[in-house]
């Protein structure tokens, strides 16, 4: 058996598959499923209360539009800056890549800041159904965003450190994919929680 294998000419080395990209796509899908369920639970609980004639948010609580809108707009802009980072690495433009990455991380931090400011404005106790769900969902999203920021930073530094060349920027493309899923999740949160409340 072994000798039979050895007499054949060896196969050409396989085109190195995009392992990191495939793994990130699967991880992103898994993360999206978790958020889909949590937001589904939020919508379901809210619908049950409203259809029973109750009010969803407790008296004295309110979700102001401005911080939520600002956070979402910032998140959308960060989608452009992370794309800029990917393009810069593709052109081996180290300076622009660092600038774009720094901007992306700054925008990510701004989203976290806007969300924490929102927490200070809504006066919503965690010991209430909407409070428990809103803090859980938005808190989980902040954790996801934090991971996306670290992932993007690591991948840019590894790319610029020579692990990937300008044409082979799989690591950063993978990080960008996760970033875009983070934006997509934020879009759903923005509509379901900040707009519809």
Partner 1 sequence: MAVTETPPETVAAAGSATPAATRPAPTGLAAVLGSGDHKVIGRLYIVTSLLFGLATVVLGGLFAFESVDAATLEVFSSGSVLQSFSLFRLATVFLVAIPLVIGVAMAVVPLQVGAPAVAFPRAAAASYWAWLVGSLLFIASYLMDGGPGGTSGSGVNLWIASFGMVLVAILLASLCLATTVFALRTSGLSLARTPLFSWSVAVAAVLWLFTLPVLVATLVVSYVDHRHAGGVLGGNAALAPRVGWALRNPQVYVVAIPLLGFFADVLATTAKARLALPGAARAAIGGAGVVSFGAVLATNDASAVETPLVIAMGLAAVLPALLIAGLIGDLFRRGSFRLTTGAVYAVSSLLLVLVATGAGALGSIPALETAGTIYDIGVAHATLVAAVIAALGGVHWWATKIGRQGANESLGKLVPLVLLIGGLLVSAPHLVSGIAGEGIETSPDWTGGIEGLNYVVVAGSVVLLLGLLLAAASFLPLFKASDQSPRDPWEGQTLEWLSPSPPPIGNFDADLPTVTSAEPLVDLREEN
> Which residues contribute to the site for partner 1 (CB under 8 A)?
1-2, 4-14, 16-20, 22-23, 26-27, 29-31, 33-38, 41, 44-45, 126-129, 131-133, 135-136, 139-140, 151, 154, 158
Q: How near is the Cβ of 39 to partner 1 at its closest, in Å?
A: 10
Nearby residues of 131 by Cβ (< 8 Å), 6 or more positions away: 58, 61, 124, 125
Q: How near is the Cβ of 20 to partner 1 at its closest, in Å?
A: 6
Q: How near is the Cβ of 43 to partner 1 at its closest, in Å?
A: 12
Q: How far apart are CA 164 and CA 168, in angstroms?
A: 5
Residue closer to partner 1 (CB basis): 25 or 99 = 25
Residue closer to partner 1 (CB basis): 43 or 103 = 43
Coil, strand or helix at 52: coil
Residue closer to partner 1 (CB basis): 163 or 196 = 163
Residue closer to partner 1 (CB basis): 143 or 196 = 143
Read out DSSP for 115-164? HHHHHHHH---SSSHHHHHHHHHHHHHHHHHHHHHHHHHHHHHHHHTTSS
Q: How near is the Cβ of 115 to partner 1 at its closest, in Å?
A: 16
Q: How far apart are CA 147 and CA 154, in angstroms?
A: 11
């Amino acid at each position: 058996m072994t000798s039979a294998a050895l007499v054949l000419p060896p196969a050409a080395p396989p085109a190195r598959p995009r392992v990191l990209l495939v793994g990130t796509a699967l991880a992103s899908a898994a993360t999206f499923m978790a958020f889909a369920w949590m937001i589904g639970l939020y919508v379901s609980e809210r619908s049950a209360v409203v259809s029973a004639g109750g009010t969803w948010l407790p008296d004295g609580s309110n979700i102001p539009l401005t911080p939520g809108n600002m956070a979402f707009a910032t998140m959308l802009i960060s989608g452009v800056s992370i794309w800029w980072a990917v393009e810069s690495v593709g052109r081996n433009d180290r300076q622009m890549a660092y600038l774009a990455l720094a901007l992306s991380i700054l925008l990510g931090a701004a989203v976290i800041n806007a969300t924490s400011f929102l927490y200070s404005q809504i006066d919503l106790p965690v010991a209430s159904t909407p409070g428990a769900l809103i803090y859980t969902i938005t808190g989980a999203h902040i954790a996801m965003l934090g991971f996306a920021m670290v992932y993007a930073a690591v991948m840019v530094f590894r790319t610029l450190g020579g692990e990937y060349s300008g044409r082979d920027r799989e690591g950063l493309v993978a990080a960008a994919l996760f970033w875009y899923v983070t934006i997509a999740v934020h879009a759903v949160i923005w509509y379901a929680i900040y707009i519809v409340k």
